[in-house]
């Protein structure tokens, strides 16, 4: 099977079986999504969604968040991992958006990564979810699933390497959606330790499944 055929097989499968694929983070606007994505690092979306309502009630916009203090914000996110850093990042992010971007969440990767707590992965999430830009955020699920399915070589050792290969091979208009396909497949089917291979419709082309059944 050629790489082109492999990608077509995977895309056809997801278009049929997961026609609606979107983030599981709860948000109403770019500000809320950015806060949620910053909090989601090394934390489940479920936990983030339990935490953000109190944040957004207290700080309904980026200006109000920019004016808070560490001691006021910290208690609202204490159930989230890396609370100290994330508290500092959220305040710093809000302050920079107010001072440098006229209180508007920027919509380019280059601008977003200037904000505290925002790396390339977060910037790709924001731009693809809010604006449907053809950016691929590579988290642990995307990294694992794309390798198991043979969408990227096993030698692709960094998230950036995987990102570049996926973007090169997935049709541009589907990239923002493919990001969610791979994440959701990794989250619920292609689990890290005990993948549910018997439930997966991609066994036919899965390198991991083939190796597991030839050992």
The catalytically annotated residue of 12, 88, 110, 139 is: 139
Determine whether 139 is an active site residue. yes
Spell out the SS3 assignment of the chain: CCHHHHHHHHHHHHHHHCCCCCCCCCCCCHHHHHHHHHHHCCCCHHHHHHHHHHHHHHCCCHHHHHCCCHHHHHHHHCCCCCHHHHHHHHHHHHHHHHHHCCCCCCCCHHHHCCCCCCCHHHHHHHHHHHHCCCCCCCCHHHHHHHHHCCCCCCCCCCHHHHHHHHHHHCCHHHHHHHHHHHHHHHHHCCCCCCCCHHHCCCHHHCHHHHHHCCC
Determine whether 100 is an active site residue. no
The catalytically annotated residue of 28, 61, 121, 168 is: 121
Q: Which residues are catalytic?
A: 121, 139
């Amino acid at each position: 099977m050629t790489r082109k055929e492999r990608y077509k097989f995977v895309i056809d499968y997801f278009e049929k079986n997961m026609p609606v694929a979107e983030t599981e983070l709860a948000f109403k606007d770019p500000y809320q999504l950015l806060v949620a994505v910053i909090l989601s690092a090394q934390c489940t979306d479920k936990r983030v969604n339990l935490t953000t309502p109190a944040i957004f009630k207290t700080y309904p916009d980026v200006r109000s968040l920019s004016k808070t203090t560490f001691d006021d914000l910290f208690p609202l996110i204490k159930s989230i991992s890396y609370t100290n850093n994330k508290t500092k990042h959220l305040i710093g992010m809000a302050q920079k958006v107010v001072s440098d971007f006229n209180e508007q969440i920027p919509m380019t990767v280059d601008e977003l990564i200037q904000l505290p707590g925002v790396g390339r992965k977060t910037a790709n999430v924001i731009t693809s979810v809010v604006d449907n830009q053809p950016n691929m955020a590579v988290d642990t699920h995307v990294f694992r699933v794309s390798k198991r399915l043979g969408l990227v070589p096993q030698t692709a050792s960094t998230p950036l390497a995987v990102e570049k290969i996926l973007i090169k091979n997935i049709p541009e208009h589907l990239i923002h959606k493919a990001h969610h396909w791979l994440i959701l497949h990794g989250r619920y089917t292609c689990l890290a330790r005990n993948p549910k291979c018997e439930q997966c419709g991609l066994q036919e082309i899965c390198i991991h499944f083939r190796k597991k059944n030839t050992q």
